[in-house]
Chain A
């Protein structure tokens, strides 16, 4: 768990810093615009009436958060939005801010009150108290604000900024009045409104919801936070394919594909991506082995303590699985197995410490490999870019209909190590380069190697030297020798990329650091509640079993799945089956009779089985959901009593209970139309 937290924290920090970086120019622009909103150069003269400068900031809600983070160290004097009174007292700015939340503005009085009091609070604290609160202006009167503003000295406060958080949640009729009142005094009070919106800029929420009359009072300027595919790509590339950042976990191609799919179909916000990544991380760390993802200390302080911890009996299962994983040869027998295999002969004798050491070694290898993949990916991208600029095509396909899909596919194949075709194409294209183009390409590659982070640069020294030497050769090569040189470069490039871009799954213990091709648990993020409730009611056993032991399911799924008899199902399911067979309205008494009949069969069968097995210890029918079990026990007792009256009561109780469960899940609608009848709400269930 701790390991997960640490790993996710790293990743999150990285992603957020990237996003912030992408946002910062836009933020800068917004702040500038806001602060210059009342300058004469930005307004038109001769408008029939003054307008309130308004900025619609579209983007996720975190934008406003980052805005404050961004501005908390004031870049220059007036650039501060003020949050709390303490900051206000500390440095008197000439911009005052006010935050309005939807909960403040349930009606116009409350809205005006929070507006006026936020601005005037400071001076009230300073001691200009009212002598007769009832004999002076009301605290929600805009004139209070006017008089407050007029008592301020010149330049003390040049702007009154009102920030509307979660703008979509505001009552539109209240805000229309609010705008109207503010616009009446806008010649006296320099208001600036900022709407923080989360809906997309088109179709515009503002124009759909607010009347034209209200909009004429505002001078709306729309600001869109950067978003869309380019942002996602940047986030993914710089998080998982960045050379200067090593996430503890690589994500696999299915997750990438899922991100793309979800992005296109449902939600194109950054939060969605973060959620997907986080879920991936969580699922990944479900695996006990992943405790080794960061280090081999097993959430202790040192290797020795970890050793001690593993020696304790409770951790033997873990040790066992680890041992078998280390011993197991990786999926494909790559060249890297050799150093593992020489240990294999004596693995039972190995101490825990050596085991952990081997895990360390595997981690280092994996890291190196993933670095290689990253370098390869970057280099190939670079070469592709340079070649595309010169008019060569590396990827065979023409016509980029689906650029997003291609990006993802490319990343996925890079991770799987299936870019051989691209590598070959790139090499082939290099061979046909002219002299000038070749020089440009080499220069670009050289620069790429130069800009590598130091630890990587050392590792790639050989390649660098080669590039440099070619570069110098190119300067003095003769006409007829030139094809040979490009040939060599092309071959080297293909070889280099092939060597770098290898599947990560070839490493030993790869599944600790790489999610591989595990599918993304999309049900968690985007469930289909209705379908799953119905199927759970129809097939309760599968759900119950899965809940109890997820792994056993895969074993059993191959077995013949003869549908369980109706009487074997839990009560609610029996009732639901009967429900599906009914008409539009159900007579509750008939329903009960049918249910009782089924329970009767159940009792007979139970007796039979009990008689056959002769013992109270084996009536476990696995009825799921736990509740059936206690019913069984009750039933046994009842069976001994053989009290018919009690049995009837029990059926009734069970019926009522099941009925309520269905009612709770919304399958029944009560109407007063017919006595003792209920209305079905679900029809035509595909079984």
Chain B
């Protein structure tokens, strides 16, 4: 064990919210360990796995006992072990402390010559036994060499720990053998499954596996989050590029950490409790923060080599920088931008344009508008809302709409009908949307060039034209494109070919409103329940 590994004390100090779990684990693993432990952590799985790895690596045998204890552990990830063979290989190699080398043809750890451990669960169980034996012997040999036969009769105790992260993704056929591993192999092995799901949701049916020893990691408190953040920030580099900043002493910059992080926490933590995410945002913004500091310091230029950061500067800086946090949160949390975009250098080059204008072709815009109408209006209203056959119809439609608007206010006793817009889109068949789209195009594509097919179109009306137009391959292709970019959602399975496919609109009112403005469709009059 190398000395730079954190001890139990430092670990539990660094991660206060994990302290109870670590304490229990420490007790359990050093005393008699249960064969199967299940740790649920719905909040910070990544940190938990890091902590566990460090903890296990730092697990030192207590020398005072009469027995020598050897700890071996393996940390696996259930996602990366997507076949049983991968799982067995990784587990055994890690337990035996074997690193496959390319020069040796990536050979696995081998106990007895010619025995394969990665073929089946059976082999794996034999493998565990052999590893256990190997560890004991190896320890005895080194023990002999060290103690020169002084205490030959001292027993060696082997403790193996197998940690599987993201246990919810574990291959189903492996769950039961793993939970009964100690029983099956007759070795002192402890299986720890960690997952963000509770055991009830992941356990195999029919009670095939024994109940585990449960542990739960609580949500990170404010102190522990801040603690984690500040430990991440402990060794921040300072940019050499800024001459003003380089005149500020390292210590005074360090004094900025705490206010910076607490502001970050107070702004972002209500929305994003995950310390990792906060650390990400904090790290992304730190260079920009220093940049801002340099700007402020330059504004109040002081003489001398060393620049002190006064309280006033600090306050001013934080106040000036506070909006940046929210902005960064909005862009970084959904990963619309990456951290590197927030470097002051990249920012200076080009102002990030925040426009959400979608680069859609005209046809795609029409499709989206029609899809939105089809998704929000009740099907029976189509004729009244969208169809504009002649002037007479138009007048009638107007009247209708006003009566519709008036009606909800009258009945105040009955159940209030929630507008469809708030309930989410309904599904509609393709034909209906195409019909709506055709009507929209009849009205709004005045100078539409239906060129190229005169001989077919001879003497046919605008309606016929529109019908031909909406059946074009280009339109259908546009629908497929939109489905691919999830602006339209296909609700019928793609392999079903009889009957028209059904869709749902995937964009909201504001987006459609913007699109409608671009193509000149007045959306308000066509929505059944106008806002």
Task: Given the known inter-chain contacts A142-B80, A528-B469, please indicate yes or no for A201 contacting B338, CB distance below 8 A.
Answer: no
Min CB distance, B203 to chain A, in Å? 23
Q: Give CA–CA (A151, B101) in the complex, Å.
A: 7
Residue tally, chain A, CB below 8 Å to B: 82
Nearest B-chain residue to A221, judged by Cβ: B338
Task: Given the known inter-chain contacts A221-B340, A532-B456, please indicate yes or no for A130 contacting B279, CB distance below 8 A.
Answer: no
Name the A residues within 8 Å of B89 (CB-CB). 137-138, 141, 143
* Partner of A202 from B287, B333, B357, B363 at Cβ < 8 Å: B357
A109 within 8 A of partner (CB): yes
B249 within 8 A of partner (CB): no
Size category of the binding interface on chain B: 35 or more
* Partner of A205 from B235, B334, B458, B484 at Cβ < 8 Å: B484
Name the B residues within 8 Å of A9 (CB-CB). none
Q: Give CA–CA (A134, B85) in the complex, Å.
A: 10
Interface residues of A in 191-235 (CB under 8 A from B): 199-205, 207-209, 212, 215-216, 218-221
Q: Give CA–CA (A523, B457) in the complex, Å.
A: 12
Min CB distance, B54 to chain A, in Å? 15
Nearest B-chain residue to A47, judged by Cβ: B283
Q: Give CA–CA (A528, B477) in the complex, Å.
A: 12
Q: Give CA–CA (A518, B436) in the complex, Å.
A: 33
A669 within 8 A of partner (CB): yes
A531 within 8 A of partner (CB): yes
Contact A261 B449 (CB under 8 A): yes
Name the A residues within 8 Å of B454 (CB-CB). 519
Task: Given the known inter-chain contacts A184-B77, A200-B359, A268-B361, please indicate yes or no for A143 contacting B105, CB distance below 8 A.
Answer: no
Nearest B-chain residue to A112, judged by Cβ: B82
Name the A residues within 8 Å of B85 (CB-CB). 138
Q: Give CA–CA (A216, B337) in the complex, Å.
A: 11
Min CB distance, B423 to chain A, in Å? 22
Contact A199 B102 (CB under 8 A): no
* Partner of A144 from B106, B233, B340, B356 at Cβ < 8 Å: B106
* Partner of A130 from B107, B458, B467 at Cβ < 8 Å: B107
Interface residues of B in 51-92 (CB under 8 A from A): 77, 79-80, 82-83, 85-86, 89-90
Min CB distance, A342 to chain B, in Å? 40
A409 within 8 A of partner (CB): no
Q: Give CA–CA (A212, B280) in the complex, Å.
A: 14
Contact B358 A202 (CB under 8 A): yes
Name the B residues within 8 Å of A268 (CB-CB). 359, 361
Contact A265 B486 (CB under 8 A): no
Contact B453 A131 (CB under 8 A): no
Contact B471 A531 (CB under 8 A): yes
A535 within 8 A of partner (CB): yes
Nearest B-chain residue to A219, judged by Cβ: B338
B118 within 8 A of partner (CB): yes
A68 within 8 A of partner (CB): no
Contact B100 A266 (CB under 8 A): no
Name the B residues within 8 Å of A553 (CB-CB). 455
A267 within 8 A of partner (CB): yes
Q: Give CA–CA (A168, B480) in the complex, Å.
A: 12
Kindly specify which of A37-45, A242-250, A378-386 makes contact with the partner chain: A37-45
B110 within 8 A of partner (CB): yes
Name the A residues within 8 Å of B499 (CB-CB). 669
Interface residues of B in 281-316 (CB under 8 A from A): 283-284, 286-287
Contact A220 B335 (CB under 8 A): yes
Name the B residues within 8 Å of A254 (CB-CB). 451
Q: Give CA–CA (A28, B99) in the complex, Å.
A: 40
Contact A44 B343 (CB under 8 A): yes
Min CB distance, B288 to chain A, in Å? 11
Name the B residues within 8 Å of A109 (CB-CB). 82-83
A48 within 8 A of partner (CB): yes
B211 within 8 A of partner (CB): no
Q: Give CA–CA (A257, B361) in the complex, Å.
A: 16
Name the B residues within 8 Å of A74 (CB-CB). none
A17 within 8 A of partner (CB): no
Contact B485 A199 (CB under 8 A): yes
Contact A528 B471 (CB under 8 A): yes
Min CB distance, A144 to chain B, in Å? 5
Q: Give CA–CA (A221, B336) in the complex, Å.
A: 10
B394 within 8 A of partner (CB): no
Q: Give CA–CA (A168, B486) in the complex, Å.
A: 12
Task: Given the known inter-chain contacts A43-B340, A109-B83, A669-B498, please indicate yes or no for A528 contacting B468, CB distance below 8 A.
Answer: yes
* Partner of A526 from B277, B361, B472 at Cβ < 8 Å: B472
Min CB distance, B509 to chain A, in Å? 16
Min CB distance, A521 to chain B, in Å? 6
B487 within 8 A of partner (CB): yes
Contact A535 B83 (CB under 8 A): no
Q: Give CA–CA (A530, B358) in the complex, Å.
A: 30
Contact B283 A530 (CB under 8 A): no
Nearest B-chain residue to A526, judged by Cβ: B474
Q: Give CA–CA (A177, B467) in the complex, Å.
A: 45
B463 within 8 A of partner (CB): yes
B339 within 8 A of partner (CB): yes
B197 within 8 A of partner (CB): no
A686 within 8 A of partner (CB): yes
A168-195 vs B, Cβ < 8 Å mask (1 yes, 0 no): 1000000001001100100000000000
Interface residues of A in 598-648 (CB under 8 A from B): none
Q: Give CA–CA (A419, B362) in the complex, Å.
A: 30
Task: Given the known inter-chain contacts A528-B469, A531-B471, please indicate yes or no for A131 contacting B107, CB distance below 8 A.
Answer: yes
Name the A residues within 8 Å of B86 (CB-CB). 138, 140-141
Contact A520 B107 (CB under 8 A): no
Name the A residues within 8 Å of B464 (CB-CB). 686
Name the A residues within 8 Å of B77 (CB-CB). 180-181, 184
B440-482 vs A, Cβ < 8 Å mask (1 yes, 0 no): 0000000001011111101010011001110111100110010
* Partner of B340 from A132, A136, A215, A219 at Cβ < 8 Å: A219
Min CB distance, B231 to chain A, in Å? 10
B108 within 8 A of partner (CB): yes
Min CB distance, B389 to chain A, in Å? 13
Name the B residues within 8 Å of A112 (CB-CB). 82
A403 within 8 A of partner (CB): no
Task: Given the known inter-chain contacts A168-B484, A202-B356, please indicate yes or no for A216 contacting B363, CB distance below 8 A.
Answer: no
A51 within 8 A of partner (CB): yes
B237 within 8 A of partner (CB): yes
Q: Give CA–CA (A410, B114) in the complex, Å.
A: 82
Name the A residues within 8 Å of B277 (CB-CB). 216
* Partner of B358 from A45, A135, A147, A203 at Cβ < 8 Å: A203
Q: Give CA–CA (A218, B99) in the complex, Å.
A: 28
Name the B residues within 8 Å of A136 (CB-CB). 100, 105-108
* Partner of A44 from B118, B283, B361, B455 at Cβ < 8 Å: B283
B200 within 8 A of partner (CB): no
Q: Give CA–CA (A219, B341) in the complex, Å.
A: 10
Contact A212 B335 (CB under 8 A): yes
Contact A47 B280 (CB under 8 A): yes
Task: Given the known inter-chain contacts A45-B283, A180-B80, please indicate yes or no for A207 contacting B102, CB distance below 8 A.
Answer: no
B103 within 8 A of partner (CB): yes
Contact B279 A151 (CB under 8 A): no
Contact A267 B474 (CB under 8 A): yes
Contact A128 B82 (CB under 8 A): no
B5 within 8 A of partner (CB): no
Contact B361 A264 (CB under 8 A): yes
Name the B residues within 8 Å of A150 (CB-CB). 102
B236 within 8 A of partner (CB): yes
Interchain residue pairs with CB less than 8 A apart (12): A49-B276, A109-B82, A132-B105, A134-B118, A136-B100, A143-B89, A143-B100, A219-B340, A267-B361, A522-B451, A528-B472, A529-B473
Q: A residues bordering B, Cβ < 8 Å?
A: 42-49, 51, 108-109, 112, 123, 128-132, 134-138, 140-144, 147-148, 150-151, 168, 177, 180-181, 184, 199-205, 207-209, 212, 215-216, 218-221, 254, 257-258, 261-262, 264-268, 519-523, 526-532, 535, 546, 553, 557, 669, 686
5 further A-B contacts with Cβ under 8 Å, apart from A215-B335, A219-B339, A266-B474, are A46-B235, A129-B105, A200-B485, A258-B449, A529-B473
Closest 4 interchain pairs by CB? Answer: A522-B452, A151-B102, A130-B105, A208-B486
